[in-house]
Structure 1
């Protein structure tokens, strides 16, 4: 009898252990069933984050190509990846140059004055005048919920319209907004930008406007005639007079007009992180990439709106710079030095078309 009782107790003990083990398995499976979807969600979210924003570096987003059509003007997947690699190279180059030149140090002051922050679409732009600024001011006004019909008929200056919707941010406000926004700027060869500003604002200045009066002052101050070199007959400053004026203003440390102020002064690009750096030379592809990656294809379209009145062809640019002397070209390089260095522009070809300092033309 004692042996039978002992056997029953052993069996009950084993059954209890089995029940405990079974209970633990059920509890584990229940907990796993509860946690698994959450774990998968975290893994997917982390993968999507790394795929889309890896330290705010933007990569290919599959949904754009699944939902887009050729009529949308979107880049193909292959072209998108190609332009994305170009943007990565530009960011890396800017970062290295900022470090090499010491422009990312704490002693350098940041400026947020020319930035436009769109919180609805999480896009930030540093406006550089004469670098597709007319086109993107129009886009930012559309993103500020002005209608295209209103913008097309309005006589108000687009920048003034924009500033009614986009307050000028402080540096702190801008850095906070960058945490969940895509930041971009558009750059251009500094001397092409200067030539464009001259043609638009000086040669074709509206009568009695601010720039027309500026031109009159430049002519009065810089126009000189000699027996061997008669004075120009143009009513506006010729290019070499305009350049002399700019260089003198810079040497006197007076504030330059926003259309030819060095854009590194505007944007202080070494003090903020840029996700997309567009260049005027590759603007069509670059702005399509930007529109895609910022998911703006249903809001704005790649387009070209140029308010300038002067032809800014290579022939025209060469003609303008052929009027300068080497000392003036050297002065322009010193003025726009950081624009050249930070965005990988060179001056080499311009030395082939300028005059020597004795007034003879090279080449």
Structure 2
């Protein structure tokens, strides 16, 4: 028995010794691996931090070479102007966030829509396309980023949106939220009533003969011309005049029918309270805003801050007073209610338009 105990004790001591040696070996191996991997780990941490600074937290990443060597011919902003526009973007983001919370549009009760978004994974940019808000210019840019050549885009007869959708599949909400982790998300907004006037001028007044919008215009005339003119002489135009068009849009909205994409409220299909937008460009400051975006996203070698307006006819701004002087106060009330969230979320006002419109006629109530 003693021999057995001796052998057991000896094995136990040897086992403890071997265990100690094994533990010591593991410690040495761990320290050696750590010594080897530490520089690499630090490098990864630094790279990851820079990556997060550039994309995830969306802090301004100074492109020193561009600031120091760029010229006005490059279309680049100076450092001071860049920071000025950046401050403007911060204010717009904060305003949007506060309004979303105030109006209750950021909760689970409201649904997110992804239909009009385009995600470019190569350049890490996400855009919600708002028709009649520099959409032609940026559809062209997204086609450039999809590797269509400028010479091809300038010659093709294919609609830019159709070309783009061959490269950018319509995403899901989940796809957008996942891509936002390392992308710059932006949209371009415009005063709702200015956008409506632009859509009217482009799609109704200058509709291609026998096109979808030309046929729409004829239906509007048939329904509203006699109704609105009453005992007054009927308009002679072969297209709907503005008050007829507005009556049609408001009736479609009240009937809860789907509005044309060129004048449907953009707060509805971009659902800006459901996604985090990093850059909010406005039509009123578009030149500086898009230069800022191009520089921030480092797209200056791919796209240029060009203005590609497919609209036809006179400049919309010069036409605004004439158009809105034709509608009634009641119609303006209706337009405000239709575009209420577009007004509120992006800090636009309707007040000045009440000085332009007509007082309601007694026969119209």
TM-score, normalised to structure 1, is 0.86
Deviations 1:303-349 (A, max 9, x none): 00001002234331111001111100000000000000000000011
Q: Distance in 2 between matches of 1:182 and 1:43?
A: 22
| Equivalent position to 1:310, from 298, 308, 313 | 313
Q: CA deviation at 1:44?
A: 4.5
The structural deviation recorded for 1:64 is: 3.0
Structure 2 distance, partners of 1:57, 1:307, is 34
Residue among 163, 170, 183 paired with 1:168: 170
For the pair 1:194 / 2:196, whether they are aligned, the reply is: yes
Contact conserved, 1:137 with 1:158, CA < 8 A, in 2? yes
Q: Distance in 1 between matches of 2:34 and 2:67?
A: 36
- Of residues 252, 255, 259, the one that matches 2:255 is 252
The alpha-carbon deviation at position 120 of structure 1 amounts to 1.0
Number of equivalences: 330
Q: What is the match of residue 232 of structure 1?
A: 235
1:288 aligns with: 291
State the superposition RMSD in angstroms.
2.1
Q: 1:144 aligns with which of 143, 146, 151?
A: 146
1:267 partnered with 2:267: no
CA contact (8 A) 2:265 2:339 kept: yes
SS of the aligned residue for 1:223 comes to: helix
SS at structure 2 position matched to 1:178: helix
In 1, Cα distance between equivalents of 2:53 and 2:183 = 16
Q: Does 1:326 align with 2:329?
A: yes
2:114 corresponding residue in structure 1: 112
SS class of match (2:127): strand
Aligned to 1:6: none
Unmatched segments (≥5 aa) in structure 2: 1-31
1:248-305 CA-partner distances (Å, limit 9, x unpaired): 0000000000000000111000000111000000000000000000010000111000
Q: Please say if 1:347 is aligned against 2:350.
A: yes
SS at match of 1:237: coil
Instruction: Give the gaps of 5 or more residues in structure 1.
Output: 1-29
Q: Secondary structure at 2:343's aligned position in 1?
A: helix
Q: Is the Cα contact below 8 Å between 1:57 and 1:275 reproduced in 2?
A: no
| 1:301 to 1:103, Cα distance in 2 relative to 1, 3 A | same
